[in-house]
Amino acid sequence: MSFGLSVSDIIMSYQLAFQIYDRCFKKAQSADVKYLKLGRDISYLGSSLQRLELIIKNAEEQSPEKSWRRKANSTMATTLDALLEVTGDFKRTLHDCEKLLSDDSRFQRSAARFVDNVVWHSSTERVVNHLRQRVNLHLTKLNFIAKPFELQLLLGIRRELQQVKQDVAALKGLLIPDTAQSIHTTSHKFHDGRFPVPPDLAKRFERALASKPGVYVQDHLPRKEGFDALVFHFASSTVKFKPRPGPGQNIPEETQFVNLLKAGWIMDKLKGSDYLQSAGSESLWADYTRELENEISDQLSRFENWELEPPTLDVILRLPNDCFSIWVPEEYMPRSAVLPELD
């Protein structure tokens, strides 16, 4: 019996996301903006998962039938297992959302069982905030992994069905317009250098890295926890900053710049880790690494071409220690939902 991720899990998850949105958010008459944003994010998560199903269907349609199907299924299962490790347990997060929203003591409902209003308590607000943070972390990772995931499936067809003599250029991706060119350039787009970080900042990152006993081993940053941290901080970096005309308006917030440097620093740690190298250069993890590395490089290039200017180092060094934290806070990670009593 397999306890990994299956295509049916993806389908049921996005269907659940849309059901939650329709039942609990679409007809809400009066609700706090945080509650409405949770509904919006759940809907986005459903759309991202639905996109994965379309990618899988597209790959399956291009995979020959009969004698080749068993090998294709094996490739799919391996790729899906890696996908679940990358994205985290979105199934549990959605079920936790459903559990909260099924609590009649917190939500007023119409005769048809649609949510009409929120009975807003501080405990409800805390749980909603935590669930929204978890949903957003899944969303960010799904957005980054979509192209590498599709590439892995299309490459799997190419590798395992050589005798079909099917040129990879004939494979039409949903997210990758020119699949052949993407495959050709993938190995060349891996950043060969390092992402430099000022020594004073590197020391603070090192101290923060060592703050979680039992997780970090010297030169062996755990793969899943490391990528979770990288995506978490990169999502709050300069990707959210848009410069405006005027003096000083192209300088991002100090925390945004620190998060960008932090993401590059974590990337360098991951690339030197045995955990990542053991996955292999043709794994989903390797493609995921390249995708993230290109995203980080794109942000750093904004400073190289003078679109942005960095904040001054002396101001950055005065930031509190929590601005240099590495590990993702526990409340952002999926866990069994235990709803607190109402205040």
Query: Tens digit of pLDDT for each residue in 224-282?
Result: 889 999 999 999 999 989 998 888 899 999 999 999 999 999 999 888 887 777 777 77
Share of the chain above pLDDT 70, in %: 70
Q: Which residue has better confidence, 191 or 244?
A: 244
Say if 88 falls within a structural domain. yes
Counting Cβ atoms within 10 Å, is residue 143 exposed (0-12), middle (13-18) or buried (19+)? Answer: middle
Least reliable range by pLDDT among 25-39, 110-124, 321-335 = 110-124
Q: What is the predicted pLDDT for the residue at 54?
A: 92
Query: Tens digit of pLDDT for each residue in 269-319?
Result: 888 887 777 777 778 888 899 999 999 999 999 998 889 999 998 899 999
173/226 same-domain check: no
Q: Which residue has better confidence, 324 or 36?
A: 324
161/232 same-domain check: no
Q: How many other β-carbons are positioned within 10 Å of the β-carbon of residue 124?
A: 23
* Interatomic CA distance for residues 173 and 168, integer angstroms: 11
Residues constituting the chain = 343
Residue that is written with structure tokens 């991002």 in the block:
252
Range(s) of the domain holding residue 276: 199-329
* Interatomic CA distance for residues 52 and 146, integer angstroms: 7
235/307 same-domain check: yes
Q: What is the predicted pLDDT for the residue at 302?
A: 92
Q: 3-class DSSP state for residue 277?
A: helix
223/305 same-domain check: yes
Using 50, 70 and 90 to split pLDDT, how confident is the model at 171? low
Q: What is the predicted pLDDT for the residue at 29?
A: 54
217/134 same-domain check: no
Closest CA to 283 of 151, 138, 162: 151
Say if 341 falls within a structural domain. no
Strands 115-118 and 107-109: antiparallel
Determine the average pLDDT of the residues in 315-325. 93
User: What average pLDDT is seen over the chain?
Assistant: 78
Say if 335 falls within a structural domain. no
Say if 284 falls within a structural domain. yes
Q: What is the predicted pLDDT for the residue at 32?
A: 62
244/298 same-domain check: yes
272/315 same-domain check: yes
Query: Last residue of a domain, which of 156, 186, 216?
Result: 186
Say if 337 falls within a structural domain. no
Say if 236 falls within a structural domain. yes
Using 50, 70 and 90 to split pLDDT, how confident is the model at 337? very low
Q: What is the predicted pLDDT for the residue at 332?
A: 74
CB 259 within 8 A of CB 233: yes
Say if 266 falls within a structural domain. yes
Query: Tens digit of pLDDT for each residue in 3-38?
Result: 578 888 999 999 999 988 887 776 655 556 677 788
Closest CA to 295 of 259, 328, 335, 331: 259
For the chain, what is the domain count? 2
Q: What is the predicted pLDDT for the residue at 11?
A: 92
Say if 340 falls within a structural domain. no
* Residue-wise DSSP of 168-188: GGG---SS-S-HHHHHHHHTT
214/269 same-domain check: yes
35/102 same-domain check: yes
From residue 12, alpha-carbon distances to 6, 131, 136 in Å are: 10, 19, 19
Q: 3-class DSSP state for residue 252?
A: coil
